[in-house]
Structure 1
Amino acid sequence: MTTSFIYTYIRHRDEQELCRMEMRAFFGKDVEDNVIQSEIAVNPSRSPFMKARLEVWLHADNLESLAQQATQLEVAKSFKTVCLNEMDLADTPKIIHAQRRDIERTVGLNISGEPELDYPELLIGIVQLDDQWYAGELIESSSDWHAHQQKPHMYSTALGTRLARAAVNIAVPHPEGIRVIDPCCGIGTVLVEALSMGIPIEGRDINPLVVNGSRKNIAYFELQGSVEVGPIAEVDELYDVAIIDMPYNLFTHITAEGQLDILKEARRFAKSCLIVTIENMDDMLEVAGWVIADRCLARKGTFSREVVLCT
C-alpha cells in the first residue's frame, strides 16, 4: 500500500510564489492553497513554510467512520490526538476550538494505547478536508532554524534566512548522494541553512574577510562545513548543484562581465544551478549555456529577488 502524506502551510502573501516553487521542487507539483497531498515524504522542519506533516493511517468519508477505524489502531507509545483544522485549509473552513476538542476525544478514546496530554511520545493528527477525514502520525515543524536569523557576522545585503532556506530546498530537494557548492558564499547564510538540514555543502568566496565570517557563523551554530578562499575560476571539481546569490554591482564592484563569468564558470563544474538575483539575467544565462527549468519572484515589501533554477 502506498503511503500518502498531507502537508499544511503557513506563509505570508509575499511568499506565495517562493513557497509554490519549493512545493514543485519537493513534490513535482504545487497548489495555491495552504494544504497539499503527496506520496513523497519530506521533513516539515526543512521548509520555512510548512506547519506540519500528517502521514495518513486512516481515511474515511465521515468522522464516525474514522472513529470506528481508530478501534483497529494499537499504539505502543503514549499519544495525544490533535485536530489540524485550527485554520481554514483550502476550501475547508476552520473548526472552532470546542468542536476540535470533541473530534480529538471521539477518535482518541477509540485508540488502544496510553493517552498523554502533556508529554506524548506520539502525536496523532486528525484533519477534515472537504468531505473527507484523515488521521495518522503527525510531525509538527520545528522552528529551531529561526535562531539562524541572528548570526554573529551579518551584513545588510545578505539573503534573509527564510529565502536562503527555501533556496536550498529548491536547489536540493532530495539531497541523498548530491554534491553541492556555494561558490560565492559571502557570510554563509546559504551554508548555515544547508548544513542545519544535514545537506553537505562546500563554500567558497574570493573575499577572505567574509570567508572568515562565514566560518565563524557555521561554528556559532555548532555545524561542520568547509569554506575556502578563492575565485570561482579555481573550482576544479564537479558538483551536482551550485547555489549562487549573485553579487550585484549595486553593492560591489562587480561588472556585468564579472557576473557572466560567474555563470560560465558554474556551467563548467555544476550540472544544475540555483541563481538568486535582484535583476533579470535571462540573456546572461542563455549565453552561459544554462536552460531555465523553474523560477519565481521572491518579494519582501517593495523589494524583490528573482529565484531561477537552471539546468
Structure 2
Amino acid sequence: MSNEQNNSKFIYTYVHHVDEYDLCRMEMRSFFNLDSQSNYIISPIKIDPSRSPFMQDRLEVLFEDNSIENIKTLVKDLKVKEATYKVVCLNSMDIGDEKKIHLPERRMIEREVGLCIDGEPELNEPEVVFGLILIDGIWYFGKHMKSESIWHNHLHKPHSYSTALSTRVARTVANIAVPQPQNIRAIDPCCGIGTVVIEALSMGINIEGRDINYNVCQGSRKNISYFGLTGNITLGPISEVKEHYDVAIIDLPYNLFTHISTEDQFNILQHARRIADKVVVVTIETIDDLIEDAGFVISDRCVAKKQSFLRQILLCE
C-alpha cells in the first residue's frame, strides 16, 4: 500500500548538525522525491518521523489560514469525541524565514486555540495532540506526531568496533536504500557488527545480513538479539549469494590493518549488480569509475562528515 495520499498534506520539521546537511537532504530526496533548503518540508507523503534522525515533528494538516482567528473558528468543527487532547505550537525555533515565537506567546496561542475545541483538554497525558505552526504567514493546524530518537537506544551495543558507521548515519543509509519498506527485500552483504541491519530491522525493513568473518557474524547476531530484534546473519562472501533482492546496502570493508584492494572492491560491486536492482554504497574513497564499470549509474550522492573523516554515500541503480 502506498504512503502517498492525494488529499493529504504533511509538514515535517528538521534539526541537524551543520555537517549533516548533505546527508539529511539525500534522505529527504529518498523519502519525498525532492528536498528543501529550509528546515521544514511540505509533502503529500506520510512518513513516521521517528524513522529519521533529523525529523523533529510531523503535522498532518487539517486546516490552514493566514489568520489565527479563522483557525479558532475552524477548529470548532473538530470532533474529538471522548479523547482528551492538547494543542502545541511548533514555532519553538526559526522555521524557514519565520522567526521563533517565544514561550509566553506560544502558550497563549495554544490556550486560545485549545479552548475553541469541543472536548476535554489534558496537558500531561493527552490521547490526541494537535499541532499549530506558522510558516510564511500561513497558520497550519493538524494532528501532531513528535519524533522519538529510537536510534539513540542502539548507541551502546554489546559488540562494536571503531570503524563502524554511527547509528545516525546507519539509520539514514537504511532510509535512503528503503524509503518505503512494503514488499521490499534488502540485504547487507558486508554487514560487520550489524549497525545498518539493526537500524533497518527497527524500522520494519525486511533485511538480512552477511559477512565473511565468523566472529563478526556472531557479534552481529548478539547485537540484533540484544535489542529484541529478529534477523538473519549468514556467514560467507557476497559471491555465494544466490537470491535476488530489491536493494543491497554495501559499506565497503576497510580498517587499519587490511586495506581492501581495488580488485576486491570491484568484485563486491559486480556481485552487487548481480544480486540487487539498486545498491547504496558507502565508501571512504572515490570509486565512481569502479561503480560505472560494474554497470551502475549513480543517481544520487552525498558526503557524510564526522570531523575530518568523510564517507561518500552513493545511490546506484
Q: Tell me if both proteins adopt one fold, taking TM over 0.5 as the criterion.
A: yes
Distance 2:123 2:45 in 1: 30
Is 1:105 matched up with 2:114?
A: no
| Match of residue 199 from structure 2 | 193
* Structure 1 letter corresponding to 2:179: P
Distance 1:62 1:22 in 2: 33
| Match of residue 130 from structure 2 | 124
Is 1:95 matched up with 2:101?
A: yes
| Match of residue 44 from structure 1 | 49
Is 1:254 matched up with 2:260?
A: yes
| Match of residue 205 from structure 1 | 211
Paired residues for 1:285-300 under 5 Å:
285-300=291-306
* Structure 1 letter corresponding to 2:192: G
* Structure 2 letter corresponding to 1:237: E
Distance 2:124 2:260 in 1: 55
| Match of residue 170 from structure 2 | 164
Normalised to the residue count of structure 1, the TM-score between the two structures is 0.98
Distance 1:145 1:164 in 2: 9
Q: Which runs of 5+ in 1 are unaligned?
A: none
15, 24, 42: which one aligns with 1:19 = 24
Write the deviation string for residues 233-258 of structure 1: whole angstroms up to 9, x where unpaired: 00000000000101136552421100
| Match of residue 182 from structure 1 | 188
Give % identity. Answer: 57
CA RMSD, Structure 1 to Structure 2 (Å): 0.9
Q: Which runs of 5+ in 2 are unaligned?
A: 1-5
Task: Give the 4+ runs in structure 1 shifted more than 2 A.
Answer: 248-254
| Match of residue 284 from structure 1 | 290
Distance 1:251 1:269 in 2: 29
Aligned with 2:265: secondary structure? helix
Normalised to the residue count of structure 2, the TM-score between the two structures is 0.97
Distance 2:313 2:95 in 1: 27
Distance 1:22 1:134 in 2: 24
Aligned with 2:80: secondary structure? strand
Distance 2:257 2:144 in 1: 44
| Match of residue 56 from structure 1 | 61
CA contact (8 A) 1:249 1:255 kept: no
Write the deviation string for residues 147-188 of structure 1: whole angstroms up to 9, x where unpaired: 101100000000000000000000100011011000000000
